């Protein structure tokens, strides 16, 4: 089939959106099905937690490995095989005869998800080159739509068909993704790295980030003291990773990349801004239920944000391509912080309409201005042959920022709440909480948490305004990278 280059670019974009959407949906849609799965398999709360955690654990563990593999063997090929692996794991999950097989399948889904999501972004960078900002904006907007629509659709499948169909439905979507990716094949001009994959570095990165993710998730849910060993393993593995990478002839992650101003700054800002973003998202959702809204109503509050993202994300990405990302990476987080401050003023159920919805719209405009430019800057600041590892670094940093922030803001909320009331068993911003003293303490605790989220966003804005260079983003200040010459471009 003789398709124009522009047509093939569009098909590639559609493939990356569809494939990534399926992976993102499966990170959350299973939550809707967990009570039904628990009843079928009689696995208790711990089993439910592992059905959710197994996916997140392997996903976060393998972002770097997935990106590095794409740099070595080809982003389109690695993306496609990631989709195949994800589909195979989904089929296993849908047919799982017991909880053990389901948990294994969820872990394998995370493996496929890590390889396809990192390489979807790297593939866009290689395909669109200088116009990657707009493409990433479209990718962000439409994957956001799918992520919001996923849980309601999953709930319908669980209620009227079977929980197994939330996994079986991935199979035709995966086939469509592979077809689109193959039809969109073109000369990405993003060169490949020569040499072999760094297996020791890959293994240490997987162990280090996997144990760190486990410690953050389980520590926030239970007690950090109970999972101290996970942080010890993470420290040892990541320390060894640094040593191995500095000594390796062909390192998976060349640390010279961090000498590039925009690469280091964009990832530092990503950590801070995604920490604030997820802190606002998680605790605002909990607080509106504390005020008396149902979980379904709280979920509907994602709709205004999604509409704003669809309308604006690609446009901001285009403008950042044209004028440089610096002021978008400063102004976006500032607007997000102002939205968070407005959301922090909620005190009663009726405030949602006068302060909550306007706050959400302001916050969403800030997210739309920030999200495509920050991802594009992180990817474009690395040489083309490092697009995959750059995507892996950025994905890992954003995931760790969100995990640490949710735990840290939760700790602040708990400390403020218990400093106001002497009720050890009371839950801060708990649903159906009774008593004026407890409810006042919850409001104060929520405001303190949102204040910390706003501080993180302002800090991210400061990094963007001070450290991001438009000249480097336009290629006028190439940074150092040392490794052997790249191989010819993939086709």
How do residues 344-392 score in pLDDT, each as one tens digit?
Answer: 999 888 898 899 999 999 999 999 999 889 988 988 888 877 888 888 8
Q: What is the pLDDT of residues 64-80, one digit of tens each?
A: 888 888 888 888 999 99
Please report the pLDDT score of residue 195 as a whole number.
57
**Confidence label for 480 from pLDDT (cuts 50, 70 and 90):** low
Architecture of domain 1-185: Up-down Bundle (1.20)
Give the pLDDT of residue 196.
67
Of the candidates 138, 191, 114, the residue with the CA atom closest to the CA atom of residue 12? 138
- Under the banding of pLDDT at 50, 70 and 90, the label for residue 490 is very low
How many CB atoms sit inside 10 A of residue 172's CB?
Answer: 10
Higher pLDDT, 48 or 313: 313
Predicted confidence at residue 193, as pLDDT, reads 60
Q: Do domains 1-185 and 256-477 have the same CATH topology?
A: yes
Residues in the chain: 491
> Is residue 142 over pLDDT 90?
no
Domain covering 256-477 assigned CATH 3.40.50.300 in the classification: no
Calpha distance 63→389 (Å, rounded): 8
Rounded Cα distance, 264 and 244, in Å: 21
Report whether 151 contacts 82 (CB < 8 A): no
Contacts of 222 (CB under 8 A, 6+ apart): none
Residue 484 has pLDDT above 60, yes or no: no
Residue 452 has pLDDT above 90, yes or no: yes
pLDDT digits (tens, 9 = 90+) for 182-238: 998 876 555 556 556 677 888 888 888 888 888 877 776 667 788 889 899 989 998
**Residue range 44-64: average pLDDT?**
80
Across 114-132, average pLDDT: 85
pLDDT band at 479 (very low <50, low <70, confident <90, very high): low
Give the integer Cα–Cα distance in Å for 441 and 419: 8
* Chain segment 254-284, per-residue pLDDT in tens: 888 888 999 999 999 999 999 999 889 888 8
Q: In the Cβ-directed half-sphere of 184, how many Cα atoms lie within 13 Å?
A: 28
Q: What is the DSSP letter of 191?
A: B
Residue 19 in contact with residue 109, Cβ under 8 Å?
A: no
d(CA 262, CA 381): 6
How do the domains of the chain map onto residue ranges?
1-185, 198-251, 256-477
pLDDT category of residue 486 using cuts at 50, 70 and 90:
very low
Distances (CA, A) of 172 to 85, 146, 166, 410: 14, 16, 12, 39
Do 99 and 52 form a contact (C-beta atoms < 8 A)? no
Dist. CA 219–CA 209, nearest whole Å:
15
Distance CA(223)–CA(220), nearest Å, equals 6
Contacts of 47 (CB under 8 A, 6+ apart): 38, 41, 99, 103
Mean pLDDT of the chain: 84
Q: Tally Cβ neighbours within 10 Å of residue 478.
A: 9
Token readout for 266 is 């964009």
């Amino acid at each position: 089939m003789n398709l124009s280059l522009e047509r093939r670019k569009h098909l590639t974009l559609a493939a990356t959106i569809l494939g990534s959407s399926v992976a993102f949906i499966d990170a959350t849609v299973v939550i809707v099905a967990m009570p039904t799965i628990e009843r079928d398999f009689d696995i208790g709360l711990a089993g439910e937690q592992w059905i959710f955690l197994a996916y997140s654990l392997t996903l976060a563990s393998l972002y770097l490995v997935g990106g590095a593999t794409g740099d070595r063997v080809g982003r389109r090929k690695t993306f496609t095989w990631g989709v195949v692996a994800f589909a195979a794991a989904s089929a296993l999950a849908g047919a799982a005869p017991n909880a053990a097989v389901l948990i294994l399948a969820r872990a394998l889904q995370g493996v496929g998800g890590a390889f396809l999501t990192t390489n979807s972004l790297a593939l866009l960078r290689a395909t669109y080159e200088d116009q990657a900002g707009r493409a990433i904006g479209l990718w962000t907007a439409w994957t956001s739509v799918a992520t919001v629509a996923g849980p309601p659709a999953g709930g319908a499948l669980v209620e009227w068909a079977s929980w197994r169909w939330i996994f079986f439905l991935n199979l035709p979507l995966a086939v469509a993704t592979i077809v689109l990716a193959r039809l969109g094949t073109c000369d990405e001009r993003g060169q490949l790295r020569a040499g072999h994959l760094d297996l020791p570095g890959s293994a240490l990165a997987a162990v280090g980030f996997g144990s760190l993710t486990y410690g953050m998730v389980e520590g926030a849910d239970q007690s950090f003291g109970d999972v101290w060993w996970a942080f010890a393993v993470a420290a040892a593995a990541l320390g060894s990773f640094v040593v191995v990478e500095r000594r390796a002839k062909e390192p998976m992650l060349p640390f010279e990349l961090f000498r590039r101003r925009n690469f280091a700054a964009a990832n530092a800002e990503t950590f801070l801004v995604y920490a604030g973003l997820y802190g606002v998202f998680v605790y605002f959702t909990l607080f509106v239920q504390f005020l008396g809204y149902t979980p379904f109503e709280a979920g509907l509050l994602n709709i205004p944000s999604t509409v704003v993202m669809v309308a604006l994300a690609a446009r901001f990405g285009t403008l950042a391509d044209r004028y440089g990302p610096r002021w978008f990476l400063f102004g976006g987080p500032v607007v997000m912080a102002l939205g968070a401050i407005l959301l922090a003023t909620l005190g009663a159920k009726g405030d949602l309409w006068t302060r909550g919805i306007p706050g959400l719209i302001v916050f969403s405009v800030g997210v739309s201005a920030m999200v495509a430019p920050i991802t594009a800057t992180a990817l474009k600041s690395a040489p083309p042959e490092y697009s995959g590892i750059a995507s892996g670094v950025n994905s890992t940093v954003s995931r760790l920022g969100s995990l640490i922030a949710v735990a840290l803001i939760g700790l602040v909320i708990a400390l403020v709440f218990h400093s106001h009331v002497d009720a050890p068993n009371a839950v801060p911003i708990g649903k159906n909480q009774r008593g004026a003293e407890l409810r006042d303490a919850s409001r104060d605790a929520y405001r303190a948490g949102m204040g910390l989220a706003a501080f993180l966003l302002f800090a991210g804005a400061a990094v963007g305004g001070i450290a991001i260079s438009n000249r480097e983003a336009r290629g006028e200040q190439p940074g150092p990278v040392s490794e052997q010459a790249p191989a010819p471009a993939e086709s």
